Amino acid sequence: IVVSGTAEVTRGDEVILLSENQSTYIPLGVTHRLRNPGKLPLELIEVQSGSYLGEDDI
2 in Cβ contact with 22 (< 8 Å):
yes
Give residue limits of the domains in the chain: 2-44
25 vs 52: which has the higher pLDDT: 25
The pTM of the whole model exceeds 0.85 = no
Exposure string (b/e) for 9-33, b if CB count within 10 Å is 16 or more?
bebeeeeeebeeeeeeeeeeeeeee
pLDDT tens track for 2-34: 999 999 999 999 999 999 999 999 988 899 999
**DSSP secondary structure of 19-38:** -TT------TT--EEEE--S
- Percentages helix, strand, coil for the chain, rounded to the nearest 5? 0, 35, 65
